[in-house]
Structure formats: structure tokens, C-alpha cells
Structure 1
Amino acid sequence: MHLDLRRIAQPVGAWTSILHRASGVLLLAGVPALAWALERSLASPAGFARVAAALESAPVRLLVLAWTWALAHHLLAGVRHLLSDVDVGAGLRSARRSAWAVNLAALAVTLLAAGALW
């Protein structure tokens, strides 16, 4: 049987779960760069100035926004999953609502961060 993922309609809970895994990968991928930037910024005033200058560029700001979304989504979806493990919000209707809430709240946090960055 041919499996065409573009034609399979996933419920919002499935997308939230998939995005939870993707956000975890983004968080893991960003840790070395963030650790390096922290180390450089604390090493000397010149290192701090270099990191601050790098954060002024648009590509780095977009990466910071992606990492912000990943952090917000992973945290919120993780809490949602933990609550569903203890049967809080495990019903179909409340699970759909909480999935939408997680997705929209992570987007809202990212938009707030974008407003602060630009």
C-alpha cells in the first residue's frame, strides 16, 4: 500500500505531538550554539560585544525566534502530555482544545519575542 503523508488528514493532537518531537530536536540542535555564545559573552567585554553584534543580524534573530518557538512549544506540549498521562484533559474534546491551546500559545510567545527583537 502506498503511503502518501500529504493525503492523510491528521488530527490537531497528532500535529501537536509531531511538533513536540520536532521542537525537541531543535532545542537539542541549538544547545551547542547557545553554550558557545554564553561562553564567548562571559569571556571578555570584546566577546560580549561580538555576540551582541551577531544578535543584531536578521538570520541570527530568525534562529533565536525558531529556538524560542521550540522552547515554548516543547514546554507547553510536555505539560499537556504529562497532564494527559494522569487523565487530566484526556477526553477527546478537551484533548483537542488543549492541543489547539498549545499550538496557539507557542505561536503567541514567538510573536511576542519577535516584537521584542524587532
Structure 2
Amino acid sequence: MTELAKKKRPEFRNLNLFSDVRTYRLPLAGFISILHRVSGMLMFILLPLVIWMFDTSVSSEISFGRFSAAFNVGLGFVPGWFIKLVTLALIWAYLHHLAAGVRHLYLDVSHKTTKDFGRQSAVATLVFSIGLTLILGAKLFGLY
């Protein structure tokens, strides 16, 4: 097939927010990079919850009982399932941020910047973070 017969693919140099973003297909490696930033932001936003969870769980036996009860019956007007769901989001954010950070560091050190390796490492990052999140989420919600 000649060059003229092939369908011309659009070339994006300067993306226009209103016209080009809807038609731009982000590769999986770019999607993982964006999720890395989102997970970092989520961990930063939930940092007061992490500090409260740590402080409440190690202060005394009474505070640990209150900490455990927050996951079972809730805390104030917040139901227990919602606290578990937020904790599951925090678990995913930590695992994804760790896996994507190791991926970025490995790419920086090894200089393996091929498109195929970027896609393979992005898939491995997703499988690792989502797989461990499902396992730990099942433990959190009492499935095993």
C-alpha cells in the first residue's frame, strides 16, 4: 500500500484543549504516569487520616478498640463501609505509587525507552497494583 493510499494519522504538536483532547489517544504508559500523580495527590490529601489511624491504633488499648470499631460500625455520621472504602483507596494509592515509582526509576536507570517496553512495564504496574489491592481489599472487608 502506498503512502497516499494509507489513512493519514493526525499529528499532534500543540494540543488544543477544546478540539484535540477528545481525539487524542493516550498510550498506556502515559495513563500510568497520570495515575502516578493522582495516587500521590490522593495520599497527600488522605495524610490526616493516615496520621489519625496510626495515632489511634498505637496510643492505648482503648483507642485501638475505638479504631477497630470505626471500621465495623463507623465513626460519628460516617458509616464503617465508607471508612473501609477510603482505606481501600489509600491502599491502592500507596501500591500504585510504589509500583509506578519503581517503574519510573528503572526506566531512568536502564534507559529502556522503547515503546514496547514502556507498554509492558505499564501493564505490569497495573497488574501489580490492582492485584495486591484486590487481595488486601478482600482482607479489609473480611472475605478471608
- Structure 2 distance, partners of 1:54, 1:68, is 17
TM-score (norm 2): 0.75
1:22 matched to 2:45: no
Which amino acid is the alignment partner of residue 137 of structure 2? Answer: A
Counterpart among 67, 70, 77 of residue 51 in structure 1: 67
- Structure 2 distance, partners of 1:65, 1:6, is 31
Per the alignment, in what secondary structure is the counterpart of residue 46 of structure 2?
helix
Which structure has the highest helix share of the two?
1
Cα deviation, residue 3, structure 1: 4.1
Q: Deviations over 1:39-85 (max 9, x none)?
A: 12322322111111112211011111101110110000000000111
The alignment-based identity, stated in percent, is 36
Cα deviation, residue 7, structure 1: 3.4
- Structure 1 distance, partners of 2:56, 2:110, is 45
Which amino acid is the alignment partner of residue 115 of structure 1? Answer: A
Cα deviation, residue 6, structure 1: 4.1
Cα deviation, residue 98, structure 1: 0.3
Aligned partner of 1:97 in structure 2 is: 120
Between the two proteins, the alignment pairs up a number of residues equal to 118
Per the alignment, in what secondary structure is the counterpart of residue 90 of structure 1?
coil
- Residue segments in structure 2 that go unaligned for 5+ positions in a row: 1-15, 73-79
Counterpart among 70, 73, 96 of residue 96 in structure 2: 73
Aligned partner of 1:9 in structure 2 is: 25
| Greater Cα offset, 19-28 or 33-42 | 33-42
TM-score (norm 1): 0.90
- Residue segments in structure 1 that go unaligned for 5+ positions in a row: none
- Using a 3 Å threshold, how does the CA distance of structure 1 residues 65 and 6 change in structure 2: closer, same or farther? farther
Cα-Cα RMSD: 1.6
